[in-house]
Chains A and B, each alone.
Chain A
Amino acid sequence: MSDHRPATDDDLPALGRLLTWVDRPGSGTKLFRALGGFCAALLVIDLLISKHGHFHIEDVWAFYGVYGFLSFVCVIYGAKTLRFFAKRNEDYYGAQAIDREDYPLDQTGVTKEADDA
């Protein structure tokens, strides 16, 4: 872990400081709502444009939106089901296995102070 932990947000790089907005209370909700609004707008646009897909179902209004939403939900629940069956401890393949070990620190920049270009 880096010893150069900036004491306050002021030490952060400019871009980083700008991005801290997302962690402010309420920002998440704002983002979520913005996304919802954007989706709604897309649905409206979808109504307006003409579509000539290879399959008829593609031309159905909001098909992609519904498909995308359902797909995502399927993925999440499918993954949860899979986790139920496939989950193992990290030392399942033995204490020496690759899954168990941390990346050797001497090959990272963590222990080296001044290798930054």
Chain B
Amino acid sequence: MATESVHDVALTLHDQLPILQLVVPFLAAPLVMVVGAGRGVAWLIAFLASLAAFAISALLLAQVIDGGFLSYQIGGWAPPLGIEYRIDAVNAFLLFLISGVSTLVLPFAYESVKAEIAERNQALFYTCYLLCFAGLLGVTITGDAFNVFVFLEISSLSTYAIIAAGADRDRRALTAAYDYLVMGTIGATFFVIGLGLLYMMTGTLNMGDLADRIAPQTDNRTIQAAFAFIVVGMGLKIAIYPLHLWLPNAYTYAPSAVTAFLAATATKVAVYVLLRFSFSVFSPGFAFENYTYELIILPFAILAMFAASFIAIFQTDLKRMLAYSSIAQIGYMLLGLSLMNASGLAATMVHLFNHGITKAVLFMGVGALTLRAGSSFYASIRGMGRAMPLTAAAMVVGGLSLIGVPGTAGFISKWVLVQAAFEKGWWPVAFLIVLSSLLAVVYVWRFVETLYLHEPARDAAEAPLTMVVPIWITALACVWFGINTDITMTAANTAAETLLSGSTGLAEPSPWTSALPAGEASH
């Protein structure tokens, strides 16, 4: 057993990075509860934790961006018995996105939370925020299937709480959170049922080990059913059309900072889990998996691209419009996924990232507008482009990126996606991608027109600096990643290759014999 070994190699801080990625925000959460009497302190702890996590994620990404992986064994228990954190290009990229967005959203949140959430609840809010943040990181970083579920629940439960925190502004946040709770729980249950079925057939929960044990029994009905449960369960978290019904309300009524954070990260993490299970645990060669993607996910992805875009066009509330646009954009990610080839996966990965920062800009912009205009209805933000030139200009940049105008991040992902569709020979799909981008032009134009081409509805000052600066940093990131694709495309391509290489490199060579840790046995 692990504990019977004498530990002879002291781990350095560098070796501990994978766990620190999670532990820092995770322990910051209770710390906020214990010491965080004042809002300033709570915010500061949250921000510092997030900043540290961001730095760590950057270090991790740098280590794995060229391929390869890091493995960390919790408590010294070797996989597959123990829980293993495994970092490769796929999740390092996502960790980078999550912690980056969080680090940008938190400065924005300072003023936004002050305005939207009652003073006495703010420390609790930051605690839940950190838990959600840590949960998302945990889902991403772990190499243990059940651990995914645990962290998923941690992030989901805290998400319900921080969405409900919007109730101080609009009571409908409560029902939105409650609906999400019911649906999210069903989704998580499906997921855990899937895991249960897998465990039943394989007796293991380590992802690499699972992959090895599933491979010889693909005809097994139980395993196939497990796949269906996992896809549908995660599909709900992703908000695959038509399982998106929780999303518009949750995003609309949540506090602005929460929406900005969740829109940029939560669904992305769910997509990641789906990717991980579809490619690492199950392998893309399985016939049933291909059929599922081609016959179910692909049509729904295309449906999402159009139906959600149409709904977005007709919305009267900017925040809600963006929520529907998110559903449409998720369609693109699933589309890339269902192409089941390397460039499609790279498109999904890069769109995860690019759409994340794009939506972060837009939702933060909406938050700033809401702060000054009172609400995000088109009627009340009319003409605010003149009163709040900086915020509005950043939102235009975000809007352009949402459409996919060359020179913005959005263009890169759509470009790669269209290329991938061509590569697969699916011309009509490529055409549909371009066509649906036109719908994005319409709804983006609607808010640009509202912001600029109307007489201002009210006098308002520019948003405070703590908001404008993060908004603009993110907006510039949209442009930067639209021009310099070094980081994003390299990471996405490596990630796609990693995923497509299936379980190789994931599994321990001989699971049971290597249960002992690397150290020598003492008795």
Whether A and B touch directly in their complex, counting CB atoms under 8 A apart, is answered as: no
Query: Residues on A close to B: CB < 8 A?
Result: none
Interface of B toward A, CB cutoff 8 Å: none
